[in-house]
Amino acid sequence: MDLGKEILKSIQLMIDKRISTCKYDKTFTSVIRQINSNGTYIVLDDAGGERNAKCCIPGIVLRVGQTVWVKIPMNDLKKIHICGIL
């Protein structure tokens, strides 16, 4: 029994390691926490940290407390942006 559990733990560790290096888009809901003077917004990322994000929706004015869709293309936090409004 213990050998089977150890094998499953090893497999899970290998899968977790592989997934952490994969490049894929992440899209999640967040809330506007603050509006910066340079036109960016502070939103909560999927791990609970605060990130600066640009809004890619033309002609939209966002306000603090508004719920939005946030996208991180290819796991690159430098490209984080707001892509929709809820």
pLDDT in tens, 39-62: 999 998 878 889 999 999 999 989
* pLDDT 10s digits, 60-70: 989 999 999 99
Domain positions in the chain are: 24-85
The runs of H, that is alpha helices, within the chain are: 2-20
Confidence of residue 38 (pLDDT cuts 50, 70, 90): very high
Cα→Cα distances 50→1, 8, 11, 17, 81, Å? 44, 35, 33, 25, 13
Q: What is the mean pLDDT of the chain?
A: 92
Q: pTM score, two decimals?
A: 0.74
Nearest CA to 32 out of 41, 40, 21, 23 is that of: 41
pLDDT for 1: 61
Q: Which CATH class is domain 24-85?
A: mainly beta
Q: Which residues are within 8 A (CB) of 47 and not within 5 positions of it... i.e. 6 or more apart?
A: none
Copy the structure tokens of residue 40.
Answer: 């960016």
Please check the confidence at residue 74 and state whether its pLDDT lies above 70.
Answer: yes
